[in-house]
A and B are shown apart, each in its own frame.
Chain A
Amino acid sequence: MDFALDLLPEAVLFGLLLGCFYAAVSVGLSVSFGLLDVPHIAHPAFMVLGSYCTWLLGVRFGLDPIVAGIVLMPAFFLFGMAVYRFYYETFEKRGADVGVRGLAFFFGVAFIVEVGLILVFGVDQRMVEAPYIGKSLEFGEMRIPMRMIVAFVTALVLTGLLALYLSRTFTGRAIKAVAQDEGALRLMGVNPVRIKQWAFGLATAVTAAAGAMLIVVGPVEPSLDRVYIGRTFCVVVLAGLGSMSGTLVAGLILGISESIVLTFFGASWAPAVAFGLLLVVLGVRPQGLFGR
């Protein structure tokens, strides 16, 4: 392998944009798994579902993918709330054997979503069209695809808004509090279950938008959720469970690593980077960079 170093700056820049995208894709999981402790293996599957819904809206109504993503958010919010309610009533409340059953449940759900998508849409890849897809911007020697910039900006806005929400609004802070001390929250007259439900709904809504970004960044297929299990959990674990700012940093680290591997070692190794990085983090520093 020649390390053609002049490819490096472009790889890093691409990695930064990609990394920010990964952060936005993972921030929903940071809430549902990092803060709420839900074993949400189906998070990437919901995202891919969002991608396909985005595609549908584009094909049926000619909606721009980012717009479609925003349109989907309320529906996914309600969907997320329903899923959490069901999960809570069925598993968390009863207490017994939550671990295996909860994991198996979400695994089954992810699987059903994936196979459902295959049955409805087939295994072929789906793409969207938009004015910014297909063009590139030139920065001196480097060429950056415009769709990456759009995804980058959207991701930044989305993550920023969520972080603001969590730290400035009452509900947002209650969500952070419920992760730390449910009892205290109850004493304040706040129902922790409703907060968690709201949080999970929010996380799912954000994930829908992430799905829209996903299909902007590249074509999607039903099995994409498996690779993203590695990427999202890698970011969330590397960040440290529950840390929002950590999610951005971790996303960037992953994005740049993947971009470098992609440039120098080829596309087939890129998905393994996230999983490899995850295994390393779990072995060396499982509490992540900013873990609580």
Chain B
Amino acid sequence: MKFWLSAALALVLAVLAAFTIKNEYFFFAAYVVLQFVILATAWNILGGYAGYVNFGTGAFFGIGAYTGVLLIKWLALPLGLQILAAALVGGALGFAIGLLTLRLRGIFFSIATVAVAIILQTVILNWRYLGGATGVQILRPEVTPPFENYIKMLFCVAALLAVIAVAVARYIESSWVGRGLRAIRDSEEAAECTGVPTLRLKLLACVVSGALMSAAGAPLAMYQSFVEPESAFSLNYSVSALAMPIIGGTGHWLGPVLGALLLGTVQQLVTVTISSELNVLVVGVLLVLFVVAAPEGIVGLFRRFFLRR
């Protein structure tokens, strides 16, 4: 009950912010941070709960973005439907990758995600209707009622998607699905022998994770008004989506949220003040640092030092 109240409160705050804050830059930056909340939470469903590491978040994000672009160019569909379609595509992609590799060891799943990322990027690069290497320009709608402009609307959409993602993750975590995934992560062979349908649960996690990641990518066309393969499938998404849950803590849904809020904000600050390459290096270094020294993440550290468990 506490969760739903907080979630509702967060959404109300978001809408209020949209109608009161004048500084537009806030919304551009906040949108990116919220985007990472969704990506990190989605990643964690498969990576943190089940132990299957996705290196290709960029692929899912990118395909979500390009689904959005495709639907705008072809059918001029509204954003809501774009997001839904992107989720379907992402879910299907997750299912396909899962079916192909989840019967093998974890590392092969991870490599397959890299493979899919590069193959998808190559396909898009050669697809002229979607702009190929040069990318495609999208005309944003003039008015976005009841919001003042498109960025405030996107900000609220992102907030809603983030709440949905976290709610889904939280439900999975506390349900029998989550218990099954944890059993799989701890010892897949023992899990299978204690009645856990390991392949099915892993596929489920793949589909949900993929769908959320692609949904996060759909509004990109509107956000940037310009989509091109290099940035849509950027490695930065893959690294960040992996680093944020590890830094925040992979065992609890709060971990990816904290990681994304923290790291996302740091990224925004560094990009603006120093350089974008350095920002990306910071993420990599923090990732390695936490993996080595604080594998249970911020949530785990908090538990250890303040709850004395």
Q: Does A101 contact B (CB under 8 A)?
A: yes
Closest 3 CB pairs of A and B: A275-B115, A108-B288, A108-B287
Say which residue of A39, A104, A271, A282 sits within 8 Å of B122 (CB atoms). A271
Q: Does B235 contact A (CB under 8 A)?
A: yes
Q: A104 to B280, alpha carbons, bound, how many Å?
A: 16
Tell me whether A282 and B112 are in contact (CB under 8 A): yes
- Per-residue contact bits, chain A 89-119, to B (CB 8 Å; 1 contact, 0 not): 0100000010111011101110110011011
Complex contacts, A237 vs chain B, CB 8 Å: 108
With A99-B106, A112-B285: A226-B126 Cβ-Cβ less than 8 Å? no
Nearest-neighbour CB distance to chain A for B151, whole angstroms, equals 29
Complex contacts, B250 vs chain A, CB 8 Å: 100
Interface size on A, residues (CB 8 A): 37
Complex contacts, B107 vs chain A, CB 8 Å: 39, 99, 103
Nearest-neighbour CB distance to chain A for B36, whole angstroms, equals 16
Q: A63 to B284, alpha carbons, bound, how many Å?
A: 33
Say which residue of B53, B115, B280 sits within 8 Å of A279 (CB atoms). B115
Tell me whether A279 and B100 are in contact (CB under 8 A): yes
Residues of A within 8 A of B (CB): 39, 41, 90, 97, 99-101, 103-105, 107-109, 111-112, 115-116, 118-119, 223, 226-227, 229-230, 233, 237, 268-269, 271-272, 275-276, 278-279, 282-283, 286
- Per-residue contact bits, chain B 232-274, to A (CB 8 Å; 1 contact, 0 not): 0001000100110010001000000000000000000000000
The size bracket of the interface on B is 35 or more
Complex contacts, A268 vs chain B, CB 8 Å: 122, 125-126
Complex contacts, B243 vs chain A, CB 8 Å: 108
Say which residue of B116, B239, B288 sits within 8 Å of A105 (CB atoms). B288
Can you report 18 A-B residue pairs in the complex whose CB atoms are below 8 A from each other?
A90-B292, A97-B295, A99-B51, A100-B48, A103-B106, A105-B292, A107-B55, A107-B239, A108-B243, A108-B291, A111-B283, A111-B287, A112-B285, A115-B284, A119-B281, A227-B118, A230-B114, A237-B108
Complex contacts, B119 vs chain A, CB 8 Å: 272, 275-276
Complex contacts, A227 vs chain B, CB 8 Å: 118
Q: Does B110 contact A (CB under 8 A)?
A: yes
Q: Does B137 contact A (CB under 8 A)?
A: no
Nearest-neighbour CB distance to chain A for B122, whole angstroms, equals 4
Q: How many A-B pairs with Cβ below 8 Å?
A: 112
> Which residue on chain B has the smallest CB distance to residue A276?
B119
Tell me whether B246 and A112 are in contact (CB under 8 A): no
Nearest-neighbour CB distance to chain A for B165, whole angstroms, equals 20
Q: In the complex, which of the residues A100, A112, A116, A283 has the most CB atoms of chain B within 10 Å of its own CB atom?
A: A100
Tell me whether A100 and B51 are in contact (CB under 8 A): yes
Q: Does B142 contact A (CB under 8 A)?
A: no
Tell me whether B114 and A275 are in contact (CB under 8 A): yes
Complex contacts, B139 vs chain A, CB 8 Å: none
With A116-B281, A268-B126: A230-B104 Cβ-Cβ less than 8 Å? no
Tell me whether A101 and B281 are in contact (CB under 8 A): no
Q: A280 to B239, alpha carbons, bound, how many Å?
A: 26
Q: A97 to B300, alpha carbons, bound, how many Å?
A: 14
With A107-B239, A112-B285: A278-B115 Cβ-Cβ less than 8 Å? yes
Complex contacts, A90 vs chain B, CB 8 Å: 292
